[in-house]
A and B are shown apart, each in its own frame.
With several copies, the nearest count.
Chain A
Amino acid sequence: MPDRDTLVHIYTTMVRIRAFEEKVEELFLAGKIPGFVHLYIGEEAVASGVCAPLDRSDYIVSTHRGHGHCIAKGASPRRMMAEILGKSTGYCKGKGGSMHIADFSVGMLGANGVVGGGFNIAVGAALSAKMRRSGQVAVCFFGDGASNRGTFHEALNMASVFQLPCVFVCEHNQYASTTPAAYSVSVRDVADRAVGYGIPGVTVDGNDVLAVYEAAREAIDRARRGGGPTLLEAKTYRIKGHFVGDPEKYRDRSEVERWKAKCPILRFEDRLRAEGVLADAEMEAIKAAARREILEAVSFAEESPYPDPDDAFSDLYVSDAQGEGCGR
């Protein structure tokens, strides 16, 4: 078991993610968020457990369902919320939105609107770390659905061939949009695909944050020591729809309820309580603080201005005259 500080940190991360996502859902339903949003509710143990053993300088590569990864890696909910609302104070100055959040200052190399678009970016970050002998590790989050993309294969093979410090974390949440993994993924455990690359493949209960943490720590340590990549699969469940507004016709309510009962936060609370790490009141205080933090983030975001329309022409090229060549 990790030390108390780590346990508290992991717990805090989980409840901060949950609070953030519940607020995003509310704001989306209130019509305040443009575009699509994909919520991480029910999957908090994965990002929280995987990112806990990472250093700030380590890299993560995220997905369309990336808010949890951001928070777990240390991004600020204020700037995240501002981005999701399309405000100029957001991480990407409103150019990205939920599907393209990134915080390079904490090594979060970006969400991705292309499913499976991140695998090789992670491989490249790991290659770079290896070449610079920086000791950094790159973690790539991806879904069960993404594991069917060709990019998965090329990335894992290359990471293995070059023995890169890379950990591939499959968030097996049972569905890719409306498609059950049992239908579209030709193996029960995505981790079995590791055999095809001569690397370790590990499956853990993704709703048990300590199991995720231990497996991730081992994989990250191995990567850092030069032991090469690992494929780590966390079996979990997406409690909410694929996106906010999803009619969810493809699954039974009872299935959702069954998984709700396995809520990773409740489960961790039981554990923390049982082990005497945190008392109920302490947990309540952490949750209240998380809710306050998120409310404050919402105020910040709502009070922030929209970008000036002409900001659309900046940031296309680095160190160029702004907007040159955009045809405006």
Chain B
Amino acid sequence: MREITFSQATLEAMAEEMRRDPTVFVLGEDIARQGGIFGQFKGLPNEFGYERVLDTPISETAIVGSAVGAALTGMRPVADMHFADFVTCAMDEIANQAAKIQYMFGGQARLPLVVRAPDGVIKSAAAQHSQSLEAWFVHVPGLKIVIPSTPYDAKGLLKAAIRDDNPVLYFEHKALFAMKGPVPEEEYIVPIGKADVKRPGRDVTCVTYSIMVHRALEGAEDLARDGIEVEVVDLRTLVPMDIDTVLQSVRKTKKVVVAHEACRRGGAGAEIAATIAEEAFDYLDAPVVRVGTLDVPIPFSPPLEARVVPRKKEIVEAVRKIV
């Protein structure tokens, strides 16, 4: 199968969905003229024009707010946040408007909105350009949360997100954009709400998502050399969460590491770990161990950044703690 980058995969998803449905459009800063900071919108205006690929003022509030209004009135907007860190500027629009409107208005409205948010640590971008903030939204009823790890999933899930009639947050790790992987030429969809076992194993389950999937796979490789077989479960979507696949794995391995790049305290890993500990209590042979960024803002200088962000090593250590 041909290999394309994650960025390219999302670009194909956009183009295919825009071709399929004339109500799909995208708005954000520097997406039309520049093609997105990570090339993820490159060339779209050539096919779809500057009307459907809208450069906006620096107005995150208006970007998401107007996307909400457009979604309520027959369009299917994709709003780009530039960096996930700036969802803070659209927090009211996401949490108090988008997430609540369908419910609060008793089902009169539908709100087919996708918010794309490039997140994660890359190249010393420091405290305000490195965050992974998905956990905030796990706590907001009414949203769906998609957070893929491979070009294949990125494409299939973005298409599913655009077709979904509900507001979907789509987090894409900045360091993944350049990663290549197999993506079929034929059209496909990856359904929202299905986890994927990225590596089978019998000894320990590692529940993870986004870039940490790759660090978990690297760690699993190392550990396999010592005879420890790690099953890597890629959640792919956090809401709805495919807890069945997770529990099935846990009942087999009886040991769990939960890993993400977001800060450890109060991260999505807390919800995952608490759910496992609650629902698989009788199966667990060891405490569920959580791996996440240590609880400080992301520091700038490379040795500091390296100290706080978990990589393969931290996953391997967590696994060794419980086997």
Contacts and interface: CB of A to CB of B under 8 A. Distances in A.
A and B touch in the complex (CB under 8 A): yes
A110 interface: yes
Contacts of A154: 57, 59, 61-62, 65
A315 B297 CA distance: 10
A93 B106 CA distance: 5
B294 A121 contact: no
A316 B142 contact: yes
A48 to B, nearest CB: 24
Contacts of B265: 327
Contacts of A112: 97, 128
Interface in A115-171: 115-117, 119-129, 131-132, 136, 138, 145-146, 148-151, 154-155, 157-158, 161-162
Query: Is chain A's interface secondary structure helix, strand, loop, or mixed overall?
Result: loop
A86 to B, nearest CB: 3
Nearest to A94: B301
Interface stretch (A15-23, A178-186, A212-220, A274-282): A178-186
B295 interface: yes
B65 A119 contact: yes
A6 interface: no
A253 interface: no
A225 B90 CA distance: 31
B300 A120 contact: no
B68 A326 contact: no
A128 B106 contact: no
B301 A150 contact: no
A325 B101 contact: no
B248 to A, nearest CB: 19
A312 B66 contact: no
Interface stretch (B69-77, B154-162, B198-206, B210-218): B69-77
B70 A35 contact: no
A104 B108 contact: yes
Given A94-B106, A154-B61, A312-B299, A113 B304 contact: no
A316 to B, nearest CB: 5
B294 A328 contact: yes
A91 B294 contact: no
Given A120-B66, A123-B65, A325-B239, A95 B71 contact: no
Contact of B299 (A94, A131, A249): A94
Contacts of A150: 59, 61-62, 89
Interface in A275-310: 306-310
B301 A95 contact: yes
Contacts of B55: 178-179, 183-184
Contacts of B51: 131
Contacts of A185: 57
Contacts of A97: 124, 126, 300-301
A96 B73 contact: no
Contacts of B67: 124
A161 B304 contact: no
A121 B71 CA distance: 9
B127 interface: yes
Interface string A181-198: 001110000000000000
Given A91-B108, A318-B166, A124 B126 contact: no
B59 A157 contact: yes
B323 interface: no
Given A121-B72, A128-B69, A185-B57, A178 B295 contact: no
Given A86-B302, A92-B108, A125-B70, A145 B62 contact: no
A14 interface: no
Given A157-B57, A158-B62, A184-B55, A36 B125 contact: yes
A312 B307 contact: yes
B193 to A, nearest CB: 9
Nearest to B144: A317
B227 interface: no
Interface in B70-115: 70-75, 77, 85-86, 88-89, 92-93, 96-97, 101-111
A143 to B, nearest CB: 8
Nearest to A158: B62
Instruction: Tell me which of A105, A311, A326 has the highest count of chain B C-beta atoms within 10 A of its own C-beta.
Output: A326
A312 B101 CA distance: 14
Interface stretch (B26-34, B176-184, B251-259): B26-34
B62 A123 contact: yes
Given A123-B62, A179-B55, A183-B55, A114 B92 contact: yes
Given A114-B128, A121-B97, A176 B105 contact: no
A295 B10 CA distance: 45
Given A99-B128, A113-B127, 19 more contacts: A34-B301, A35-B300, A86-B300, A86-B302, A87-B301, A95-B299, A96-B300, A100-B104, A100-B128, A121-B68, A121-B69, A132-B23, A154-B62, A177-B29, A177-B34, A178-B55, A184-B56, A315-B106, A317-B102
Which 7 interchain pairs have the tightest Cβ spacing? A124-B69, A120-B65, A94-B301, A97-B300, A86-B301, A113-B128, A34-B124
12 contacts: A91-B106, A104-B72, A117-B96, A120-B62, A120-B68, A178-B34, A179-B33, A184-B55, A250-B34, A306-B302, A316-B297, A325-B240
